[in-house]
Chain A
Amino acid sequence: MVPCIQASDVTLTFRPKDREAVTAINGLTLEVARGEFVSIVGPSGCGKSTFLNVLLGLLKPDKGEIQLNGKRISGPGEERAMVFQEFGLLPWRTVLANVELGLELKGVAADTRRKRARGLIELVGLTAFENHYPHELSGGMKQRVGLARALVTEPEVLLMDEPFAALDAQTRDLMQTELLQIWDRAKKTVIFVTHSIEEAAYLSDRVVIMSARPGKVKEVLRIGLPRPREYEMRLSPGFNEIKSRIWSTLKEELVTRIGGDGAQR
């Protein structure tokens, strides 16, 4: 079976005008199956977000390629949608208009897109707030809008760039649970970038640990926890063992990064 996502030898170097070139990712190879939930963890600056942007089609790799269902990714496409770290909501649009955005850009008729958007707003539990502006919402509500907006075009692959990093701990726990429920129902393939080892372990089928910059896959860990995941699993000894395995692999990279990167920061 063709994997849903197949990244082979992806390499990308940023060449800013008046600074030294930085190779963000170097020879990244990864396969993701359809319907799989894969998290990516790694030291800051290891190219996790860069990889997501290549997947999204906003950045083009210098070398290598990513295939989606056997077809090379060359630009944005409706099979993929991103949930952004700082929500990325258009502040001058209401919740409804923000969720409609993707359909509007595709030229879907107004009443059709309104109906679809309302359905997703209901799914994330914000029906009472559809006419509110983003600044009137809490962080958790904003990211629910971000999620609804990404889902509105019915993408096959959901890319999430530290989506819960800006939320407080309790809201974060809640959103994780809700995300798993939506994922379970909608059967999406999810690539989830995070800094939190616990979050990665709790949500994922597999956790990809990246090396320090220039980033590539250092290790892939299959999480054997049963589905559906329950909050209580986080308290089990097995869960702690998974966390410590991720941590020990990651630690080597953090040390490398701090040692080799001091001059650049």
Chain B
Amino acid sequence: MAGSRSHSFKVVLLGEGCVGKTSLVLRYVENKFNDKHFSTLQASFLNKKLNIAGKRVSLAIWDTAGQERFHALGPIYYRDSNGAILVYDVTDEDSFQKVKTWVKELRKMLGNDVCLCIAGNKIDLEKDRAVSLEEADSYATSVGAKHFLTSAKLNRGIEELFVDLAKRMIEIAESSDEHRVNSLGRGSNPRRNVVIVDDEPQQQKTGCCGG
């Protein structure tokens, strides 16, 4: 429905506790960091409206619980999502390994239709870096994701990350729309049939639906 003009996407935010998921998304949506005056009580479900090349995009950003004990619940969260942001802490090698397991899961569950972004957060702590840029970059390209270095504290790389993600999601959405249009004959006929059956007693309505 009206897909060409406005899009709404679901984006899940994955990452271990303490990698700065919340700071990242709050920086993006409210442009604040460690502020006492956030306008929201919660940073787990946030909406952001974007305008990319004249297209209105609405992002629903779903935070997920990153604790190990909730790991198994991942699939419930990222069902039907269009994009995923995987956050790790550049000073924490473990958090990067965790990202790898999520990427595997996401690819398994959602296939290639999901756009992945890997964000190496806390680059303001460059001197303590534990995950090398080359390693992260090569890993990201190997799984078809984009790698960004971000800092919620310094407000670096975050805008770029979301804009890029939105662009890629639009691409996928539009190409799948085309796909659907091409296969319309088969794709939506069963549904149409149901509707027509629905309306069969009233003849005039059949006409309306057909047109």
- Do A and B assemble together? no
**B residues within 8 Å of A by Cβ?**
none
**A residues within 8 Å of B by Cβ?**
none
